[in-house]
Structure 1
C-alpha cells in the first residue's frame, strides 16, 4: 500500500502544531511573565524548562506503550491531555510562585513534569505513527511538512496570545493561556478522528521476511543498546542537537553586546534565523522527495550538508565576534537557520526510516530513545552555551572573543556530527556480508 496520503500527513501535522503551541506557552510566554511581570530570577523558569526536558527521558517508555497497544491514537490524545492540563496548572503556578514560593514552586514543578510527560507521550507516539504509516519516498517531505506546521503553530499561538494579553492582567493571562491550551487539545481530537483506523485497515506493505516479534520493555531497550547502528545514530542525534541548541540563549545577547543591536533589532534577527530554518525545511521536503529519500542513506547528503553548512555559518559568527562593524550579520544568521533546517528535517526523515529496523524494538521504542537523546541535548545545549559564554567573558574580560570561543566550539561539534552522520546513515550489513539498507 502507499501509506498515509498527504491529507492524512497534514492532519498529523496539526497535532505537531498543537504540541508546539502549548510548549511555546509554557517555555516562552510564562518564562517572560515570571521574570518581567513577577520579578523572579531568570534561573527559576530556566530550571523549570530544563526539568521538562529531563522528564522526557521517559520517552522510550511512552514509545514502548504505544508499540504494545493496537492503536497509537489513545497515547497521542492522552499525552495531549496531560500536556494541556500541565500548561494550565503552570499558568496558575506562575501567578502564585512570587507570593507563595513553596506552594507555587511545588505546583510549578508538578506542572512542568506533566508538560514534559505530555510532550514525551504525544510526540513520541506521533513520530512512531508517522514512521509506521508514511511510505519511504514521502518521509523527507512528511518530516518537513510536520515540522513546518509545528513552527507555524508556535507562531500563530504566540501572535494570538501576544495580541490578547495586552493590557496585561492575571485574569487575561489565565483566560488566554487556558484558551490556547484547550484549543490545542481539541484540534488533535478532530485531526485524528478515524485516521488510524483506516491505517490499520490498509497498512503500509512490509517485507514478507520482516520479523514481527514483540518483547518486554527491557528486552526492546537492550536490543537498541546492543544494536551498533542504533547506538551510532543515538550518538549522532545527541551531538548534532547539542550543537543545534547551544546558540539558542546566546545569539540575541551576542547581537546586543557585540553589534549593539536594540532588543527590537535582536528579536528581528531571531526572526531572520527562523525564516532560514523554514526555507531549509522546505528545500529538504521538496528535494528529499525529488532526488531520493526512500532510505536513510538517501538523506545522508542533506544531513551532512546541513551540518557542514551550520559549521560554516557558526565559523562566520566566530569571525564576526571579533570584527563586528560591517559584517553581514543578518545574512550570516539566515545561512545558519537555513543549514539548521536542512540538517534537522533530513535527520528526522532518516530517523523515521530507521525506526522500524529492529526485530523486537519497534518504532515507538526507537523513536523514544532518539527523542530522549534529543531532549537531553536540548536541555544541555542551551545551558552549556549560556554558561560557557559567562565563564569565557569572566575569564577573557572582552565580549567578542568570549562569543568567538563558543561559536567556534559549536562549529566543531557540527563537523563531528557530519562525520557521525556519514556512519550513522550507512547501509547495514547482514551476517553474510550482503548490504541491506536500513
Structure 2
C-alpha cells in the first residue's frame, strides 16, 4: 500500500532525486485547492441547509460524514493504484476535476431540497460521495509524490507547508464566498461553487506543471507486488504497539471534539446572533485565521521551549476553556465578543495542532523498521474516522438537544459543553500518549523548514 511504500522509497532514492522548496510549495497549493472546494460544504452550504431551509442539522452532518467515509477505503486504494502508474500528476488533476464536480453537485442540490427534500438529500449524498472520491484521488497521490521527491531534511517542512497552505486556501475561500454571497440566492451559491471548483483546477494545473520532470525514484519490485495480506500483517504489527494505540486514541478523541463544531458554528451564529450567510461565512474564515496564527506562533515559541506533549495538552485545555466561553456567549449580547471568542478558539486549535503534528513526527521518525508511513496512515485513519463521526454526531446532537431543551440556542450550547469536556479529556490523554521529546529537538532539526514556512 502507498503508506507503507513511501519510507523505503524515500530512504533509497531521496538523495539522488529531490525537489526544491519552491516545487514543494507549489504542490502545497494543490492541497489548498482541495481544501477550498471542500470548505464550502462544511461552512456555507451547511448553514444554508440549516438556517435558510430550516432542515435538521443532521442532513449536512450526513453529507460531510459520507465525504469522509468514502475516503477510508479510497485513499489507500487509489494511492496504491497511482503507485503503479508511473506519474502522480494525472491522478491529482483528474481528482481535482472530480472534486470540483462533486462540490458543484452538492451546491446544485440545495435548491432542490427547498422544493423536494428527499430528492435533494439523495442528490447531495451522491455528490458528497463524488467529492470524497475526488479528494482521495487528488490528495493521496499528492502526498505520495511529496514523499517520493522530498529529501529527508524536507519531509517535515513539506508536511507543514501543505497544512498551512490548506488553511490559507480555506480562509481565502471563506472570505471571498462570504463577500459574494450577500444578498443570498441559490443562483449565487451555485455560481460560487462552480467558480471555486474552476479556480481550484487552474491552481492545481499551474502548481503541477512540469513538477514531475526528471527520473522517478525506483521502487523495489517486491514492494510493488506487495499483497493485501502482507499489508494487514504490517498493520497488525503496528497496532499491537501500545504507544500507537494510545496516540491513535488521543488523535481520535481530540479530532472528534474539534470536528463536532464544523457544521454547527455557522448555524449557531445565524440563530443566536442573527448573522447573515455572508457574515457567518466570514466568521468561519476568522476561525481558520486563528488556527493559522496559533500554529505559526506556537511553532516559533516551541523552537525555544517545551515538550511536545505539553504543547498538545495546552492546546486541548485552551480549546476546552474557549468552548466554555462559547457556552456563555449568548449572555454577552455582543457579536464582537462572540467573534473574539471564535478567533481565540482558532488560536487554541492551532496550538493543539502543533503539538499533535510534532508528536506524529517524533513517534514515527525514531522507528527503524521502515513503517513510518504506515504509522502515519494509522494516525490519519483515526483522524478521518473522528471527522466522519464527529461532524455527524455534532449535528445530530444539536437536533437532539434542541428537542430536549425546546430551544435551538440551548441545543447548540449543550453540544459546545460536551466538546469542552472531550477536549479536557484529550488534554489529559495528550500528557500520557504524545511525545515527551522536547519541541526544540524536533523543530530546531527542521530550521530550514520553519524559515521556509514562516517567511
3-state SS of paired residue (1:195)? coil
Identify the match of residue 349 of structure 2 among 331, 340, 345. 340
Which runs of structure 2 are paired with 1:134-153 in the superposition (5 Å)? Answer: 134=150, 142-153=158-169
Which runs of structure 2 are paired with 1:276-425 in the superposition (5 Å)? Answer: 276-287=290-301, 290-291=303-304, 299-317=308-326, 320=328, 324=332, 330-351=339-360, 359=369, 363=373, 366-392=375-401, 394-395=403-404, 406-425=415-434
3-state SS of paired residue (1:263)? coil
Deviation string, structure 1 residues 108-130 (Cα, Å, up to 9, x no partner): 33321110111123223333444
Deviation string, structure 1 residues 171-204 (Cα, Å, up to 9, x no partner): 665554333212212321221233344584699x
Unaligned 5+ runs, structure 1: 204-210, 429-438
Which runs of structure 2 are paired with 1:50-65 in the superposition (5 Å)? Answer: 50-58=65-73, 59-65=75-81
Q: Is the 8 A contact 1:61 1:217 kept in 2?
A: no
3-state SS of paired residue (2:137)? helix
Identify the match of residue 223 of structure 1 among 207, 229, 234. 234
Q: Which residue of 1 aligns with 2:451?
A: none
Deviates more, 1:334-343 or 1:104-113: 104-113
Alpha-carbon distance in 2 for matches of 1:119, 1:314: 30
Alpha-carbon distance in 2 for matches of 1:10, 1:122: 16
Give the deviation of 1:105 after TM superposition: 4.9
Deviates more, 1:403-412 or 1:337-346: 403-412
Q: Which residue of 1 aligns with 2:275?
A: 263
Unaligned 5+ runs, structure 2: 1-14, 438-455
RMSD over aligned Cα, in angstroms? 4.3
Q: Is the 8 A contact 1:60 1:369 kept in 2?
A: no
Deviates more, 1:302-311 or 1:367-376: 367-376
Alpha-carbon distance in 2 for matches of 1:275, 1:299: 23
Give the deviation of 1:225 after TM superposition: 3.7
Deviates more, 1:245-254 or 1:218-227: 245-254
Identify the match of residue 86 of structure 1 among 102, 111, 118. 102
Alpha-carbon distance in 1 for matches of 2:435, 2:344: 27
Q: 1:181 to 1:70 in 2, by over 3 A?
A: same
Q: 1:199 to 1:12 in 2, by over 3 A?
A: farther
Q: Which residue of 1 aligns with 2:251?
A: 237
Deviation string, structure 1 residues 135-183 (Cα, Å, up to 9, x no partner): 5665565444323322322333344445556676666655543332122
Deviates more, 1:125-134 or 1:222-231: 125-134
Which runs of structure 2 are paired with 1:185-204 in the superposition (5 Å)? Answer: 185-197=201-213, 200=216
Q: 1:64 to 1:234 in 2, by over 3 A?
A: farther
Q: 1:325 to 1:26 in 2, by over 3 A?
A: closer
Q: Is the 8 A contact 1:67 1:362 kept in 2?
A: no
Q: Which residue of 1 aligns with 2:131?
A: 115
Alpha-carbon distance in 2 for matches of 1:106, 1:80: 23
Q: Which residue of 1 aligns with 2:445?
A: none
Give the deviation of 1:375 after TM superposition: 2.6
How does the TM-score come out when normalised to structure 1?
0.74
Q: 1:167 to 1:358 in 2, by over 3 A?
A: farther
How does the TM-score come out when normalised to structure 2?
0.72
Q: 1:277 to 1:101 in 2, by over 3 A?
A: closer
Alpha-carbon distance in 2 for matches of 1:390, 1:4: 49
User: How many residues matched?
Assistant: 412
Alpha-carbon distance in 1 for matches of 2:371, 2:408: 48
